[in-house]
Amino acid sequence: MKDESNDKKQKKGICNFFSYVFQPSAFSLQPSGFTLIELIIVLIIIGIGTALAGLLITGNSGGLEIKTFTKDVSAVLRYARSQAVSEKRTYCFVIDRNERIVRLYAVKPKEEVEGDEEAVVVISKAIPETLQMTLQDVKAEPLFIEFFPWGNSTGGVIEVSNPKGLTYFISVNRLSGKVEITKAEG
């Protein structure tokens, strides 16, 4: 009999322990954690802070405009070389610094020339006000690079710079017509 009473006490003790552990307390009736609205507000604040930090970092260097324009110009030059080879005609890339515009002309073959129109404007792009563009070692206006049907060109190095001193060079190989972009060091 003694053993039975000990077993009952042990079982009662175990039951008391579990009822104590799993008993709802005053703290468990209150909500714990964050609401969905609180989480969304915090995420919005973090997003705005990150966006502002990104703008401050890229806005100070002024590098986005010059980098984009340089890539656009190099794409036009690559297009000119490709079209010159595939269409078997000369293409001429012209930098007009007075009008602040660059143009790509397709030169018509002699048999297609009517009147004074020897070339057709294929692409025209404005030079942003904050950027300067020159063709190195060329003093005469207009500044131009020609692409010929054999894949070669007159070649040259186009320098694109901004007032903050950031400069990119677009090199056009004279023999192959290959276009490369390099950033000036310093």
pLDDT per position as a tens digit, 145-185:
999 999 999 999 999 999 888 999 999 999 999 999 999 88
**CA separation for the pair 80, 101 (Å, rounded):** 16
Domain ranges of the chain: 63-183
Q: Is 8 exposed, middle or buried (0-12, 13-18, 19+ CB in 10 A)?
A: exposed
Q: What is the pLDDT of residue 23?
A: 55
177 φψ region: left (φ > 0), alpha (ψ -120 to 50), beta (else): left
Q: Is the pTM of this model over 0.85?
A: no
Judge whether 121 and 107 are in contact, CB under 8 Å: no
Q: What is the DSSP secondary structure assignment for residue 101, as one 8-state letter? A: E
Q: Output the CA angle 149-132-55, nearest 5 degrees.
A: 110
Which residue reads 């942003």 in tokens? 128
CATH superfamily of 63-183: minor pseudopilin epsh domain (3.55.40.10)
